[in-house]
């Protein structure tokens, strides 16, 4: 029920930090990292969130969508992890 969108190679979803509005290079071995506002995120989850925030018209990250949607998406993910595992995660 979704749509398929190819993103350009320069999208770099795994390196963008929406709290800094900047690209911050990370090692592939860094699976969990701290955004500049102190929030811990799991790399694959955060990359998928940033792909969710892709604006196919501008072919770039929709920074306003990142800001408006992050807290809700982060909370719902934590709730689902709790539902599945029966405990809160510290990632």
Take residue 57 and report the two structure tokens written for it.
């018209």
- Per residue in 60-74, pLDDT tens? 899 999 999 999 999
- C-alpha to C-alpha distance for 8 and 83, rounded to whole angstroms: 35
**What are the backbone angles phi and psi of residue 17, rounded to the nearest 5°?**
-125, 105
> Is the pLDDT confidence value at 3 over 70?
yes
> Is the pLDDT confidence value at 8 over 90?
no
- Per residue in 23-59, pLDDT tens? 998 888 888 989 999 999 999 999 999 999 999 899 8
Question: What's the pLDDT at 90?
Answer: 58
């Amino acid at each position: 029920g979704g749509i398929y969108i190819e993103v350009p190679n320069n999208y770099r979803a795994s390196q963008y930090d929406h709290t800094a509005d900047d690209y911050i290079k990370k090692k592939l071995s860094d699976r969990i990292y701290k955004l500049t506002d102190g929030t811990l995120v799991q790399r694959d989850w955060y990359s998928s969130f940033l792909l969710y925030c892709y604006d196919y018209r501008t072919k770039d990250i929709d920074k306003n969508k990142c800001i408006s949607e992050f807290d809700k998406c982060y909370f719902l993910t934590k709730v689902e992890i709790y539902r599945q595992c029966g405990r809160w995660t510290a990632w």
